[in-house]
């Protein structure tokens, strides 16, 4: 595996790959890699000639009181995992090169960035959209792979790609879970044993809510159930949201149930603070079956 740190070198390498008629698949990550990341990489390898993985903990997507400095970093372990998967290129840039002192340009995907997590993390999706746009210009991928785990992120990135005419296909891959259902996340490392056990409630609540939705229960009742069940867990310090959302507009679904709802799918999603970790998860409920 080739490890590239310089932006110029990455751009030159990408240009050479393309001149040889090969496709570039790209998996952007913040490192501390787990099976969720690796599933994206495996899919990417199947569909492209060359696979580029980036590791960059992006400071501008963290709020001032968030976990940027303590975000887990494990470069040695990550390099081992990526080498074992025979990833072609690891792009591992430095913060000072991505955001030099005189940096001025940011991308805001309006409206969508303020919904769901955006309401609790002002500036987060501006940071995400900006770094992903920059990485696309550096890595020049034909396809880029994202996890459904970060559902809102996939919607924001797709919209940015559409609006700014990026010539890249966005591929969204399913959420990989632990055996007890907890969505894999680098932030799960923050949980102690009791918190780790309590965290399984999130997916259980989403699954139960899915059954309720499919059986025709009103959206209000489903939302109540989600909030009541999560708030009964004493280790959950805060429920930021636990609700039903429109799959593209990300608006909360207020009244009604599936018999009056017009779309093919809806999103059940939750964000909670458990111990020192902010955990998110979601299920896309397919209503076409």
Comparison of 212 and 268: residue with beta carbon closer to ligand AMP: 268
Minimum distance from residue 144 beta carbon to ligand AMP (Å): 9
232 SS3 class:
coil
What Rg, from alpha-carbon coordinates, does the chain have?
A: 19
Q: By C-beta, is 146 or 241 nearer to ligand AMP?
A: 146
Shortest distance, position 221 Cβ to ligand AMP, whole Å: 29
DSSP codes of every residue in 20-41: TT--EEEEEE-SS--HHHHHHH
Spatial separation of the C-alpha atoms in residues 161 and 246, rounded to whole Å: 20
Residues in the site for ligand AMP, rule: CB under 6 A? 29-30, 36-37, 39-40, 146-147, 149-150, 173, 175-176, 183-186
Based on the number of CB atoms within 10 Å of its own CB, is 160 exposed (0-12), middle (13-18) or buried (19 or more)? Answer: buried
How far is the C-alpha of 170 from the C-alpha of 28, rounded, in Å? 12
Phi, psi of 58 (to 5 degrees): -85, 105
21, 30, 32, 116 from 69: Cα distances, Å: 40, 13, 14, 24
Catalytically annotated residue among 37, 49, 124, 246: 37
Element (H, E) at 131: helix 124-139
State which residue, 126 or 223, has the beta carbon closest to ligand AMP.
Answer: 126
Which residue has tokens 């009742």? 221
Task: Work out how close the CB of 272 gets to ligand AMP at its nearest, in angstroms, rounded to a whole number.
Answer: 16
Which residue's beta carbon is nearest to the bound ligand AMP? 147
Q: How far is the CB of 152 from ligand AMP (least distance, A)?
A: 10
Kindly state the smallest distance separating residue 149's Cβ from ligand AMP, in Å.
Answer: 4
User: Would you call 37 a catalytic residue per the annotation?
Assistant: yes
Cβ-based nearer residue to ligand AMP, 72 or 275? 72
**Cα distance between residue 289 and residue 286, in whole Å:** 7
Residue 115's CB is within 10 A of a number of other CB atoms, namely 19
> Cβ of residue 176: shortest distance to ligand AMP, in angstroms?
4
Place of tokens 């590239």: 4
- Say if residue 230 is exposed, middle or buried (CB neighbours under 10 Å; 0-12, 13-18, 19+): buried
How is the beta sheet containing 265-274 ordered, strand by strand? 236-245, 265-274, 277-286
Give the total residue count for the chain.
289
Residues classed as catalytic: 37
């Amino acid at each position: 595996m080739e490890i590239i740190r310089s932006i110029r070198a990455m751009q030159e390498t990408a240009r050479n790959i393309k001149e040889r008629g090969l496709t570039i698949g790209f998996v952007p990550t913040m490192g501390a890699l787990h099976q969720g990341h690796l599933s994206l990489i495996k899919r990417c390898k199947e569909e492209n000639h060359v696979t580029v993985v980036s590791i960059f903990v992006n400071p501008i997507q963290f709020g001032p009181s968030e976990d940027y400095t303590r975000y887990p970093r494990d470069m040695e372990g990550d390099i081992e995992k990526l080498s074992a998967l025979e990833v072609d290129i690891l792009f591992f840039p430095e913060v000072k090169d991505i955001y030099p002192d005189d940096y001025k340009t940011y991308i805001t995907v309006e409206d969508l960035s303020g919904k769901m997590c955006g309401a609790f993390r002002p500036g987060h999706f501006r940071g995400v959209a900006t770094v992903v746009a920059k990485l696309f210009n550096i890595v020049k991928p034909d396809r880029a792979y994202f996890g459904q785990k970060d559902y809102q992120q996939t919607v924001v990135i797709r919209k940015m790609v559409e609006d700014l005419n990026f010539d890249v296909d966005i591929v969204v891959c399913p959420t990989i879970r632990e055996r007890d259902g907890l969505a894999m996340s680098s932030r799960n490392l923050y949980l102690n044993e009791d918190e780790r056990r309590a965290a399984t409630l999130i997916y259980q609540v989403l699954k139960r809510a899915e059954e309720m939705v499919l059986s025709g229960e009103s959206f209000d009742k489903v939302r109540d159930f989600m909030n009541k069940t999560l708030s009964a867990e004493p280790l959950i310090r805060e429920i930021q949201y636990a609700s039903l959302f429109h799959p593209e507009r990300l608006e909360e679904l207020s009244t009604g149930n599936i018999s009056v709802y017009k779309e093919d799918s809806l999103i059940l999603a939750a964000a909670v603070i458990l111990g020192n970790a902010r955990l998110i998860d979601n299920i896309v409920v397919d209503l076409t079956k």
